[in-house]
Structure 1
Amino acid sequence: MANKRDLKKDINYVLGDIIEAVYLWELENPDKDNKSGEEIIDEAITSFDGFMARANERSLENAKKHFKTLRDDLEKTATELVKKVNAL
């Protein structure tokens, strides 16, 4: 199992890349409405905060199961956000 530090880095990189993709879309399409892009960024930031809070939990009964669930949730959230970015 990877350590907690690597999980936190993965959370940061994945959600950061999604935010960066939205910013690039906004730069490439200045004439389009940015409201939907801002909503995606806000959702990514909210997700980041939630994932980091879950990653920093101290009292865990089954740490391996907790972190596996966290990784699965990160993958699902990232997939949903990428679909939204592609729909822009």
Structure 2
Amino acid sequence: MANKRDLKKDINYVLGDIIEEVYVWELDNPKKDNKKGEAIIDEAIKSFDELIERVNDRSIENPSKHFKAIRKDLEKTAQTLVDKVNAL
């Protein structure tokens, strides 16, 4: 199922880019406290695990609706994390 594969890739790329951006911020600001950045990374990893678990759920009745809801949650989570990275 291409839709499931594409969704998994999107989750990986989006959250991976956010984690990478935190690492770049930490390299650019070595004297600042990294605890906030580490918390963002932990939240991104937790979100990744939760979203992938939902994608792999086989007990769904309407796959199209289910995957659309996951994409919407990914967008919302990504926007929240990006806002936190921008606030560092």
Q: TM-score, normalised by structure 1?
A: 0.97
Q: Structure 2 unaligned runs (5+)?
A: none
Q: Any idea what the Cα deviations from partners look like across 1:44-84, whole Å, max 9, x if unmatched? A: 00000000000001111111110000000000000000000
Structure-1 residue corresponding to 2:60: 60
Structure 1 residue 9 corresponds to structure 2 residue 12: no
Partner secondary structure for residue 40 of structure 1: helix
Could you state the TM-score of these two structures normalised by the residue count of structure 2?
0.97
* Separation in structure 2 between the aligned mates of residue 60 and residue 80 of structure 1, nearest angstrom: 27
Runs of 4+ in 1 over 2 A off after TM superposition: none
| Larger mean Cα displacement after TM superposition, 55-64 or 25-34 | 55-64
* Percent identity for Structure 1 against Structure 2: 75
Number of residues of Structure 1 aligned to a counterpart in Structure 2: 87
